[in-house]
């Protein structure tokens, strides 16, 4: 239930994970898996919530908003 809609914490997580991923991509000496892990942390939870909502035919605007914020 807590992942059903976006809040300010979700926005901060998406923002800082995006900055971290961009920095890791721009710096070739950093480890390779970091950008992939950042993408997984940012996108897997909202995609999962949206997929469950589609599967149960319980799609609400808040779930789509959570995906779009990330």
pLDDT in tens, 53-62: 777 776 666 6
* Residue 1: per-residue pLDDT: 44
With residues binned 3-state (H G I as helix, E B as strand, rest as coil), the percentages for the chain, rounded to 5, are 75, 0, 25
Total of domains in the chain: 1
pLDDT digits (tens, 9 = 90+) for 5-45: 667 887 787 788 778 778 877 877 766 777 777 777 777 77
**Does the pLDDT at position 3 exceed 60?**
no
Rounded Cα–Cα distance for residues 20 and 39 (Å): 10
Is 1 inside any structural domain? no
Is 2 inside any structural domain? no
Is 30 inside any structural domain? yes
Count CB atoms within 10 A of the CB of residue 63: 21
């Amino acid at each position: 239930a807590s992942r059903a809609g976006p809040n300010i914490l979700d926005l901060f997580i998406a923002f800082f994970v995006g900055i971290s991923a961009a920095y890791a991509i721009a710096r070739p000496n950093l480890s390779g898996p970091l950008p992939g892990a950042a993408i997984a942390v940012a996108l897997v939870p909202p995609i999962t919530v949206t997929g469950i909502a589609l599967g149960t035919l319980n799609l609400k605007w808040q779930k789509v908003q959570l995906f779009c914020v990330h």
